Amino acid sequence: MRIYNTLTKRKEEFVPITPGEVKMYVCGPTVYNLIHIGNARPMIVFDTVRRYFEHRGYRVNYVSNFTDVDDKIIKKAIEEGVDADVISERYIAECKKDMEALNVRPATVHPQATQEICGMLDMIQELIDSGHAYAAEDGTVYYRVRSFRDYGKLSHKNLDDLEGGKRSLLVSGEDQKEDPLDFVLWKPKKEGEPYWESPWCNGRPGWHIECSVMSKKYLGDEIDIHAGGEDLIFPHHENEIAQSEAANGKPFARYWMHNAFLNIDNRKMSKSAGNFFTVRDIISKYDPQVLRFFMLSAHYRSPLNFSAELMEAAKNGLERILTAVSNLNFLISKADGSQELTEEEKKLLEEAAAYTARFDEAMDDDFNTADAISAIFELVKFINTNTNGESSGVYLAALHEQIRELADVCGLIVDQKEEMLDADIEKMIEERQAARKAKDFARADAIRNELLEKGIVLEDTREGVKWKRV
């Protein structure tokens, strides 16, 4: 597998630190509002990366944080007259609902910054002790950027260029810095803000330290993949490297992966610019799977422009896949129970295997989901032309499993739960009653199971058979 590494600006062969295992950290959202579909892009992309690793047999330890202490959260809490944690807990819960709708699996761990303050205090102290950080008079702790020789290696920036840009950016209160490049690790509280005690002042952490600390705690000093949107390369990830590598004395992440922006009218979708749609907006208009399919229709390093036309195209594309699977399911339900493949079917399955190989090849090449989806479409075409009422059940089931597996790597659910009509359910119940009367208990049980598979539970009562959907 080859992954484009922002650090080296090259595609590199993936070699895990521990064979068979992937340790992966993805920077998560700041929780002060419903997430927008730009925030959903990294969630969907890296969930797909995780799923593909698992498809290739790796165990994935996937950590993704919630930033739950931040100026914007505090501002919202003040506006609503509630504590900051009321805001962050509310939007973590809402974010998890959106993730579930988009079939983004929960991370192995979702740490929250406010729960990890002790670890942050420890790392900041270590950085002070080793000369990489210093406390200013007012208790603010700064990272001494020039003490870290490799600063700039991820964003490919040169310190002197940065310095030039920063001089004009000096804001009040920052005059205690030794150097304009230095960034905040800990800052004094302001009136009405949440704070924690520390050796330097009562206050709260800067943004960057949480990820260094949580990544170390849940994954170890060295990890395989660190990921997020490309706006995080500088300064967030650059600063994480400076903190982690100075504190741990080891390289931090081997591969740095960054998704390009989701744009609207060719401008980055963002809360601050006001040009955004929330995930909630979009999934009230489209099946959430359409949004997921749309996101994966482009390579994750290419900018993607959101538009109604492209969503329609995604909807139609997804529909083609779902229709093929639905037809396959129909044929399976009608097929005889033969467990034998014909010679012809054996050959056809060998031919079909090429589409999985093509899918894997695309994903092996830096997770090229656009090409991987093309391979799924080819399989769809193959299924449509090479199945019919004569096909054996085993053959159809093998094709079903093949397409289900590829779709599952993309996080797409192809077996739509078909809602049965009440009348159909009742007809089947009558049939079951007739079978029982005729003492054909095998048939009666088969009908009960068939209904169960469709989410209908039967209950035999004195008043007759009752049923409910589960």
211 annotated ligand binder: yes
Closest separation in Å from C-beta 196 to Zn ion: 19
Which residue among 1, 24, 41, 182 contacts ligand AMP (CB under 6 A)? 41
Of 210 and 360, CB closest to ligand AMP:
210
Ramachandran quadrant class, 19 (left: phi over 0; alpha: psi -120 to 50; beta: rest): beta
Q: How far apart (Å, rounded) are the C-alpha atoms in residues 325 and 336?
A: 18
Of 114 and 147, CB closest to ligand AMP:
114
201 annotated ligand binder: no
Contacting Zn ion within 36-95 (CB under 5 A): none
Q: How far apart (Å, rounded) are the C-alpha atoms in residues 194 and 203?
A: 8
Phi then psi for residue 10, to 5 deg, are: -140, 160
What single-letter amino acid sits at 251? P
Which residue among 27, 185, 260, 283 contacts Zn ion (CB under 5 A)? 27
From the list 19-27, 81-89, 257-265, 354-362, the region that binds Zn ion by CB under 5 A is: 19-27
Contacted entry of ligand AMP, Zn ion, none for residue 42, CB cut-off 5 to 8 Å set by kind: ligand AMP
414 within 8 A of 407, measured Cβ to Cβ: yes
H or E element at residue 372: helix 369-385
Residues facing 225 on adjacent strands: 24, 255
- For residue 225, state whether it binds ligand AMP (rule: CB under 6 A): no
Phi then psi for residue 138, to 5 deg, are: -80, 5
Closest separation in Å from C-beta 366 to Zn ion: 22
- For residue 387, state whether it binds ligand AMP (rule: CB under 6 A): no
Of 170 and 273, CB closest to ligand AMP:
273
Structure tokens at 156: 């490919």
Which residue among 142, 186, 261, 359 contacts ligand AMP (CB under 6 A)? 261
240 annotated ligand binder: yes
270 within 8 A of 20, measured Cβ to Cβ: no
b or e along 252-268 (b: 16 or more beta carbons within 10 Å of the residue's beta carbon)?
bbbbbbbbbbbbbeeeb
Which residue among 89, 193, 231, 371 contacts ligand AMP (CB under 6 A)? 231
Rg (CA), the chain: 27
Structure tokens at 402: 């093949």
Query: Residue length, the chain?
Result: 470
From the list 3-11, 21-29, 115-123, 457-465, the region that binds Zn ion by CB under 5 A is: 21-29
User: Residue 168 carries which DSSP code?
Assistant: T
Closest-CB residue for ligand AMP?
Answer: 229
Of 27 and 262, CB closest to Zn ion:
27
Contacted entry of ligand AMP, Zn ion, none for residue 269, CB cut-off 5 to 8 Å set by kind: ligand AMP
24 closest CA partner among 172, 227, 214: 227
From the list 7-15, 119-127, 261-269, 288-296, the region that binds ligand AMP by CB under 6 A is: 261-269
**Cα(first)–Cα(last) distance of the chain, in Å?**
41
From the list 23-31, 73-81, 247-255, 336-344, the region that binds Zn ion by CB under 5 A is: 23-31
Closest separation in Å from C-beta 311 to ligand AMP: 16
36 annotated ligand binder: no
Which residue among 63, 232, 290, 321 contacts ligand AMP (CB under 6 A)? 232
- For residue 211, state whether it binds Zn ion (rule: CB under 5 A): yes
Q: How far apart (Å, rounded) are the C-alpha atoms in residues 17 and 4?
A: 17
Contacting Zn ion within 117-136 (CB under 5 A): none
Which residue among 1, 4, 22, 30 contacts ligand AMP (CB under 6 A)? 30
Closest separation in Å from C-beta 226 to Zn ion: 8
What single-letter amino acid sits at 239? N
Please spell the DSSP secondary structure of 62-102, one letter per residue. EEE-BB--SHHHHHHHHHHTS-HHHHHHHHHHHHHHHHHHT
Residue tagged 């589409």 (tokens): 355
Which residue among 27, 104, 298, 363 contacts ligand AMP (CB under 6 A)? 27
Closest separation in Å from C-beta 151 to Zn ion: 17
Q: How far apart (Å, rounded) are the C-alpha atoms in residues 327 and 331?
A: 6
Contacting ligand AMP within 240-259 (CB under 6 A): 259
95 annotated ligand binder: no
Which residue among 229, 288, 317, 411 contacts ligand AMP (CB under 6 A)? 229
226 within 8 A of 252, measured Cβ to Cβ: yes
Sign of CA dihedral 309, 315, 317, 320: negative
Please spell the DSSP secondary structure of 210-261, one letter per residue. HHHHHHHHHH-SSEEEEEEEGGGIIIIIHHHHHHHHHHHSS--EEEEEEEPP
- For residue 228, state whether it binds ligand AMP (rule: CB under 6 A): yes
Of 60 and 211, CB closest to ligand AMP:
211
Can you give the binding site for ligand AMP, defined by CB under 6 A?
Answer: 27, 29-30, 38-39, 41-42, 228-229, 231-232, 259, 261-262, 268-270
Can you give the binding site for Zn ion, defined by CB under 5 A?
Answer: 27, 211
Binding residues: 27, 211, 236, 240, 271
